[in-house]
Chains A and B, each alone.
Chain A
Amino acid sequence: MGTSSTLDATFAALADPTRRAILARLATGDATVTELAAPFAMSQPAVSKHLRVLERAGLVRRGRDAQRRPCHLVAEPLKAATAWLAGYRDYWEASYRQLDDLLKDLQP
């Protein structure tokens, strides 16, 4: 999967508020589906469905423990996405800083 389709999968997975909340919860530590479902007015199957989207996007990994299968946040795709974003924004901000300097030079 290329960088672009990886980013697409990451952003598609992030497009849903419940999935963002699940990721925010996992940022505090691993959790089971039951634990993840607790704060949401949502059934465990509904939460599992969101988890599958997050797993496919590579944002969540499930543990091997057959009973609990704890969910773990995988930060790398998020880091890749922000690194790309930072690069893009740095580029234009750097260009506009050159414009700042030029505008300063042009004024008496």
Chain B
Amino acid sequence: MTPPLRSPGLQVTEAGATGLVLTRDFAAPAPLVFAALTRPELLRRWHGAHGWHLTGCEVDLRPGGAWRFVSHGPGGAEMEMYGEFREVEPPVRLVQTEIHRGWPEGAALVTTVLAETGGHTTMTVTVRYPSPEIRDQVVRTPMRRGAGEAYDRLAALLDLLDQEKRDRS
């Protein structure tokens, strides 16, 4: 595994050819984080950035239950993602499928694990895309999730170049 990308908060690392792991700490207990990730009235208050926000949010939180997010962004852009819950274990684990409207076929499998220590919660989201092509499609849209081993390599290279630059000055 290559080193994680540097980030003040969110860390992104590769996991295999089509996998991706996001890690983020929150200053709140796990039940609260779980609620914020699964309750539409809370999701609407944080999900999205840079002009994107959730306009449609349906969550049937039980194994086999459906979920659907519709987001609107700058210039009238719209995107929709939906899927089905596979495992629902509040407040520690959530497994769901995820399909973005326009994907050729196949669903991503998203596993969210929450680990609470002393009132702080570490969230680990593992995304397994159905194919490298779909991951490519995801990474082309800033709104969507995506990363890959090449980006970790790039980050490592840029670290090296920064180091070289510092050494010369």
Residues of A within 8 A of B (CB): 3-4, 8, 10-12, 14-15, 20, 23-24, 27-28, 78, 81-82, 84-85, 87-104, 106-107
From residue A23, how far is it (CB to closest CB) to chain B in Å?
Answer: 6
Cβ-closest 7 pairs across A and B = A11-B150, A94-B49, A103-B28, A98-B46, A99-B46, A95-B49, A93-B10
In B5-52, the 8 Å CB interface with A consists of: 5, 7-10, 12, 22, 24, 26-28, 32-33, 36, 42, 45-50, 52
Is A11 touching B153 in the complex (CB atoms < 8 A)? yes
- Give the total of B residues in contact with A, Cβ under 8 Å: 44
Is A89 touching B5 in the complex (CB atoms < 8 A)? yes
Report chain A residues within 8 Å CB of B12: 89
Is B158 touching A82 in the complex (CB atoms < 8 A)? yes
Report chain A residues within 8 Å CB of B145: 92
Question: Whose C-beta in chain B lies nearest to the C-beta of A73?
Answer: B161
20 contacts between A and B (CB under 8 A): A4-B140, A11-B153, A20-B153, A24-B161, A24-B164, A27-B164, A28-B168, A84-B142, A85-B5, A85-B154, A88-B142, A89-B12, A90-B50, A92-B49, A93-B8, A96-B10, A99-B46, A101-B46, A103-B32, A103-B36
